[in-house]
Structure 1
Amino acid sequence: MNTENPGCLTGVARAVALVIVLPLRLLWDALAWCARQLWRWLLAPVGRALGWLVHHLLVIPLRWLWEWVLVPVGKALWWVVDLLLVTPLRWLWRWVLVPVGKALWWVVDLLLVTPLTWLWRHVLGPVLRVVGAALAWAWRVAGEISRAVGRAVRWILWNAVGRPLAWVYRVVLTPVGHWLRRSVWEPVATVARAVRAAAREVRTALFGGPR
């Protein structure tokens, strides 16, 4: 191939590209024209017809139903409910329940709350305070008496039991123990050691030493 002439290569490339692209462009333009015609002569008229049908068969009847049926019926129902339920309940609350509640509270306050308040303030409260103070004082005094009794019991027990026992232990038992250890236990222990030694010697002489 002759690569020295760029113009020739460009022309060949353009010709090949044109051969490949031209059918695709013709197909694209044909599809676009068909789509425009389909939208113009079919889809758009059908859409407008459907919109007209929806508006006249659904929107207008629903708007008429809302304006001339549902809203008046709702207003009539609310008027009936207000007349037969809301207004009687409001009247009952204002002229019966509230006055009766106030009267009941006045009776309860007069017969229960006020007497109980007076009783607590002038009788129970002072009595409970006096009783509480007396109990606290008695608790403190009882504690002091208990501590004094404890000290007295400890002194009596020490002088009646502890001191004699300590004297007996120090004056009698300790010297007796020392004498028994020196005069009895130590000689007996010495004799026992001598007997054990003699027994070992006899056993060794008769049976021989340990193998």
Structure 2
Amino acid sequence: MDRMDMEKRRGEPEGCLVAAIRLPVRIVALVVVVPVRLVWDALVVSGRFLYEKALVPLGRGLGLLLRAVFVWPLVMLGRALAWLCRVLIAIPAQWLYAHVLTPLGHGLTWLCRTLIAAPAMWLYSQVLVPLGRAVLTGLRWLGLALFVWPWVALWRYVLAPLGHALAWLGRMLIVIPLTWLWQYVLAPVGRALAWAAAGLGRGLATLLRWVFVVPLVALWRYVLAPVGRALLIVGREIADALAIAWRIAGRVSRAVGRFLGRLLRRTFVEPVRWTYRTVLTPLGHAVRDHVWRPVARIGREVRASVRQARAEVRRALFGAPKRPEHAAEPLVGDRREPHSAQARTLGSSTTPLTKTDIH
């Protein structure tokens, strides 16, 4: 309901019927409309969430899948078929048309024009046209002599005088008597009948007015119009009550939504966030700093120790690798094992990788 219309209606004088109907109707409308509005807003939010989070990604995925499965293969197949048709049909047909059919057509055209068209045109212009003109002129004069001139003479000398005589006879025997009969007999009788019919019509109109029209007007004025105005007032108040109840229900629905959002945030989101920030994050950092990193460092040291032990065993069994006489440095290619001065001794736990003493 428009606000301007409602303000105009509030400015109008109100009777006791309006005041008695308005409050109960608005209370009933508010009780009925609020649950409907809550359910409607819940359905709208659910549908919007389902559409944005499920249907749209699903539709895009299905579109991509259908495009990959059907569209692109069909497009490639169509391009391949177009290329094959062009190579196998269009190009040979174009060459055949340009180098075979076109010269053959030109030759046939010249031959037909020389052997058929030129003699036919000469025969038409020199023989058939003069002969046709002569025959047409003879038939024209023959038709005029046989059909037109006899009918013209018959109309001029026989039918026209006979028509004039019949017209004078019909006027004297039919038109003048009928005119006199209408003027002095039928017209006065018709006027008398019209006057009588008019009086009878006025009497019937008066009778019908008092029998039908006056009761119907009274029924409309004193019964139907007041009932209609009352029903209009009731319907207007119901519409206003529904509009106000719908707006109030919208506010209630928004308040309920905000309350549920705050309740969900206070009961679920903030505890989960606090647990993540206060408990899980420090616990993860502690596990990373005090468990995973020491374990990883010990694993690297164990691997280095095993590698050094394997190098010492190989050196004890097979001897140290030979060095060239002119080179004082160890072999460049022997990079898998550490230098003997950097190897771990019996009294120290220093490793070449960590460079620290582990006691």
TM-score when scaled to structure 1? 0.47
Based on CA coordinates, which of the two structures has the bigger radius of gyration? 1
Larger helix percent: 1
TM-score when scaled to structure 2? 0.31
